[in-house]
Homo-oligomer: A and B are copies of this chain.
Amino acid sequence: MKIEAVDFFYLSMPEVTTEADGSQDALVARVAAGGFVGYGECEAAPLPSIAAFVCPMSHGVCRPVGASVLGQTIATPADIARIAALVAYDSMDLLQAAHTWSGVEMALWDLLGKARGEPAWKLLGYERSHRKTPYASQLFGDTPQETLEWGKAQRVAGFRAVKYGWGPIGRAGVKEDADHFMAAREGLGPDGILLVDTGQIFDEDVEAAAARLPALEAAGALWLEEPFNGHAYEAYGALAKRSAKVRLAGGEAAHNAPMAKHLIDYGGIGYAQIDCGRIGGLGPAKQIADYAAAKGVTYVNHTFTSHLALSASLQPFAGLEGHRICEYPVKPKPVATAFIANPIARDANGEIAAPDAPGLGVEIDEKSFRPYLLDVEIKVGGRTLYRTPAV
């Protein structure tokens, strides 16, 4: 099969706010080859990501992503790896390329799986897709009372695990944060799995993060996620050594496999959170799943957008039975749910799994793009490089 076309659809809510909710827009990539169509989703700023696919070449290693993808043949997973290596080398000076490529790479697994009648996780080398315990992923409330109520609501909704993120944490004092952690525990009940995400708020201030550890431990938090910016390996490493019970989680910002490995090796994280829509797709994510498993680190998906991204994110660790927790966006915006014809539902036990259907196993309803589709037109030197395709 020859890759004949790659199209991008920039979908967005009519109004995008400053809340830390990545489901307010979506960039869907569609790949066509050999009569098959595959879909993927970049977890990325749509406009720069489209630009990185269509831009003119700047020099030999600053080529657009499209130059490495269009016209390539694809028959096996090794072809996807080959194209990935081409993108990495020929676009080494195009920073955004990794985010653009991530959605395209996903779409290639989807397409290849459909062509071969096999789920992506099988193509990745797994025998079966184990069920996972989804955690409800949501923001902290503005007040501890709100945090408590939301925890209760998730318990009622059948979630055994809840992750709270961002919001007021780290912006007021240690006491205020502790109140939120305890409220979260209270709302969740004594047996719930409590996960806390502080959204890089401490940058690389180890003391500020460490000051939150006693309350996190008292609240029985399983992990503390992203206390620091994604490059602060030393801060991660120092905090990991100071935390007896609460393990660190991080990795969502990794836009290549080495970044995630470094966070494991130098940062001492206990949970590697990989976003397939950023790290370069399923291939490098699977590398990290293998690496994490070998190092006694638990692999977890990072997903805050659609169930297309969710399915993609489940594939790389679908076969790792012991890596059970998975992120499950609970309150995605309508733009992220509208175009998924068959969302990944929780079963009677409240669990989910990567679909057994070919490819990513997610049916995309392109007509449902329409109310959210942003028309984009990019012209350079009088030539139209991109125009939103008709749906």
Binding site for B on A (CB under 8 A): 10, 12, 16-22, 24-25, 43-48, 50-52, 54-64, 88-89, 92-96, 98-99, 199-200, 203, 229-233, 253, 255-256, 258-259, 262, 266, 278, 374-382, 385
Contact = CB atoms under 8 A, between A and B. Distances in A.
Given A48-B94, A52-B45, A378-B378, A58 B89 contact: no
A200 B62 contact: no
B61 A94 contact: no
A206 to B, nearest CB: 14
Nearest to A166: B60
B48 A96 contact: yes
A57 B18 contact: yes
Contacts of A20: 59-61
19 contacts: A12-B381, A19-B59, A20-B60, A22-B93, A24-B58, A44-B94, A44-B95, A46-B56, A47-B51, A47-B385, A48-B51, A51-B51, A89-B200, A95-B96, A95-B278, A231-B262, A232-B258, A375-B379, A377-B378
A51 B50 CA distance: 9
- By Cβ-Cβ distance, the 5 closest A-B pairs, closest first, are A231-B258, A47-B55, A96-B96, A18-B60, A48-B51
A108 B320 CA distance: 50
Contacts of A203: 89
Given A16-B58, A25-B58, 7 more contacts: A16-B57, A44-B58, A44-B62, A45-B52, A45-B62, A229-B258, A231-B262
B89 A95 contact: no
A16 B59 CA distance: 7
A64 to B, nearest CB: 8
Contact of A45 (B45, B93, B278): B93
Given A22-B62, A47-B380, A379-B377, A92 B57 contact: no
A47 B56 contact: yes
A67 to B, nearest CB: 9
Contacts of A200: 61, 89, 92
A352 to B, nearest CB: 24
Contacts of A64: 45
